[in-house]
Chain A
Amino acid sequence: MPRTLVVIPAYNEEQSLPAVLKELAEQTPEYDVLVVSDGSIDRTADIARANGAHVAELPFNLGIGGALRTGFAFAVRNGYDQAVQFDADGQHDPLAVAAILGPLADGADMVIGSRFAEGGAVTYEVSGLRRQAMKLLQRLVHRLVGQEFTDTSSGFRAFSRGMLEFFAVTYPVEYMDSVEALVLACNAGFHVREVPVNMRGRTGGAPSNRRLRLVYYYVRLLVVLLVSTTTRKERARRNVLRHTADDTGGDS
């Protein structure tokens, strides 16, 4: 049985966190849980500790990418075989974790839980501008990596040990980290797969979709992605090489 860590980045999530952690503890007690409090100023960390999770407290807000990096580094240092990225706002179903972990056993390095892949009931509503932006991203990613993904920005993902080691130092820290991470992993030669999952509405917090900001972030992401294909490929490859070199004395 592989050791599995559930990484939950949380920024001021004291409202939704208790229910999420309780549900995880009840339905999937075999997984360890790490909450990365991303500079929260509420009682997120205390609540997480009280609910039996490991808690890493970042001294200030790094954004979701930085929180994930911290979580991945924790997983690597403590000898976990695989990890899952899980939302603190109750969108993700603990029972679906097994489904996204599944393909790791067949050699996948990263598995994306897709809201839109065939086989999942499409219960997830996305509106207007956001939908257009997602379509555009999907097409762009397809073009950049040559593989079709239906949900490029999903934050429900599973990672193999090798992927964790790679991402513990390279995981993108800009907004829309998930899309960039996907491109990065594909370009570095990691095997990425997608499985359908259902997602629920949020139990707390609000989606960040103030229009102008969203547009700004998309433009920024486009620039990052376009630049990444020219420079990241070789850098990523170098990183992989360095990792495999470092790893000769380790496990796996």
Chain B
Amino acid sequence: MSGLGEVLGGMSVAAHVLVIVLAAAVIAFIVVLVRSRRLRAKYSVLWFSIGIGLAILAIFPGVLSWVSDRFGIAYAPATFMLLALSFLLVLVLHFSWELSRLEDRTRALAEEYALLRLELDERLSAQEQTTGRRPGDTAVEGGDGGDGA
């Protein structure tokens, strides 16, 4: 990423190839992740877009200079940094939101688990008291499933 500055001024062939290879590697890695289903579809779309964006910039570095000119940014790599930072900021914010949501769900599950286990334990011990044996493998037997609300 640090080589990008020089690349944009007078692009050397070696640098050009390097950036293209890097972009290709990123895209390849994303493909591997998606194919092995370690990345959810919603994130794969996001990262593919980023990968393609990187590839375009790598192949046609002129695009960045052109955009910088339009916005009056003298130093083209600054445009790249601005975009990258904004993107990362939004992404981290999104993750915080998602994390909060996951925590809420985990919490709800934990609460539900505790209540269900309490009910099961009490039913089993009540059954044990009336029948004199612990109904080890017959937990489904009396399954009316009601919660007594």
Residues of A at the B interface (CB closer than 8 Å) are 36, 54-60, 62, 66, 69-70, 73-74, 76-79, 173, 250
Contacts and interface: CB of A to CB of B under 8 A. Distances in A.
Contacts of A73: 111, 115
A36 B110 contact: no
Contact of A56 (B107, B115, B148): B115
Contacts of A62: 107, 110-111
Contacts of A77: 115, 147-149
B117 A70 contact: no
Interface in B114-141: 114-115, 117-118, 121-122
B114 A36 contact: yes
Given A57-B114, A70-B114, A78-B148, 11 more contacts: A36-B114, A54-B122, A55-B121, A57-B118, A58-B110, A58-B114, A60-B110, A62-B110, A73-B115, A77-B115, A79-B148
A57 B122 CA distance: 13
14 contacts: A36-B114, A55-B121, A56-B118, A57-B114, A57-B117, A59-B110, A59-B113, A62-B107, A66-B110, A70-B114, A70-B115, A74-B118, A77-B115, A78-B148
B107 A74 contact: no
Nearest to A58: B114
A42 to B, nearest CB: 17
A173 B118 CA distance: 22
Contacts of B148: 77-79
Interface residues of B, number: 13
Contact of A54 (B110, B111, B118): B118
Contacts of B113: 58-59
A70 B111 contact: yes
Contacts of A58: 110-111, 113-114
Most chain A CB within a 10 A radius of its CB, from B113, B118, B122 = B118
Q: List the 6 closest A-B pairs by CB distance, nearest first.
A: A56-B114, A70-B111, A56-B118, A77-B149, A58-B114, A77-B147
B126 to A, nearest CB: 12
B112 to A, nearest CB: 8
Nearest to B111: A70
A58 B107 CA distance: 9
A60 B121 CA distance: 18
Given A66-B107, A173-B107, A59 B114 contact: yes
Nearest to A34: B118
Most chain A CB within a 10 A radius of its CB, from B111, B117, B118, B121 = B111
A105 B122 CA distance: 31
B82 to A, nearest CB: 29
A55 B111 CA distance: 12
Most chain A CB within a 10 A radius of its CB, from B107, B114, B117, B148 = B114
A140 B113 CA distance: 37
Contacts of B110: 58-60, 62, 66
A206 B117 CA distance: 30
B107 A79 contact: no
B14 to A, nearest CB: 52
Most chain B CB within a 10 A radius of its CB, from A36, A56, A78 = A56
